[in-house]
Chain A
Amino acid sequence: MTQPFIDTILEEAISWIESDKQVVLATVVQTWGSSPFQIGSKMIIDEKGNFLGSVSGGCVETSVIAQCVELIKNKNSFKKIDFKVSDENAWSVGLACGGEMTVFLEQIN
Chain B
Amino acid sequence: MKIEILKKIIKKKSSDEQFAVLTNLSNGSSEIYKIGIPLSNNFINYKNDIENYYNLKKSGVINNTEILIQNYIKPIKVIIIGAVHITQYLIKFLKNLNFDVTVVDPREYFTTKQKFQNIKIINKWPEEFFKNIQTNSNTALITLSHDPKIDEPALKHALKKKFFYIGALGSKKTHKNRCKRLKDEGFNDKEIDSIHGPIGIKLGGKSAPEIALSIVAQLVSETNKYKNL
Question: Do residues A5 and B6 form an inter-chain contact, with CB atoms below 8 A?
Answer: no
A109 CB–B CB distance under 8 Å:
yes
Question: Do residues B61 and A29 form an inter-chain contact, with CB atoms below 8 A?
Answer: yes
Question: Do residues B60 and A39 form an inter-chain contact, with CB atoms below 8 A?
Answer: yes
Query: In the assembled complex, how far is the CB of residue A31 from the closest CB belonging to chain B, in whole angstroms?
Result: 9
Q: Which residue of A lies closest to B227 (CB)?
A: A1
Question: Do residues A29 and B28 form an inter-chain contact, with CB atoms below 8 A?
Answer: no
Question: Do residues B6 and A1 form an inter-chain contact, with CB atoms below 8 A?
Answer: no
Which of the residues B7, B98, B220 comes within 8 Å of A3, measured between beta carbons?
B98
Q: Which residue of A lies closest to B94 (CB)?
A: A1
Give the total number of A-B pairs whose CB atoms are below 8 A apart.
Answer: 70
With A and B bound together, what is the CA distance between A80 and B66 in angstroms? 11
Number of interface residues of A (CB under 8 A): 27
B72 CB–A CB distance under 8 Å:
yes
Question: Do residues A1 and B223 form an inter-chain contact, with CB atoms below 8 A?
Answer: yes
Identify which of residues 78-105 in chain B touch chain A, using a CB-to-CB cut-off of 8 Å: 95, 97-100
A97 CB–B CB distance under 8 Å:
no
Chain B positions within 8 Å of A, measured between CB atoms, are 1-3, 6-7, 9-10, 13, 23, 25, 28, 30, 59-61, 68, 70, 72-75, 95, 97-100, 220, 223-224
Chain A positions within 8 Å of B, measured between CB atoms, are 1-7, 10-11, 13-14, 17, 25, 27, 29-30, 39-40, 77-78, 80, 102, 104, 106-109
Q: Could you list 29 examples of A-B contacts with CB < 8 Å?
A: A2-B97, A3-B73, A3-B75, A4-B70, A4-B72, A5-B13, A5-B73, A5-B74, A5-B98, A11-B10, A14-B10, A27-B68, A29-B23, A29-B25, A29-B60, A39-B60, A39-B70, A40-B59, A40-B70, A78-B25, A80-B25, A104-B25, A106-B1, A106-B23, A106-B30, A108-B3, A108-B6, A109-B2, A109-B3
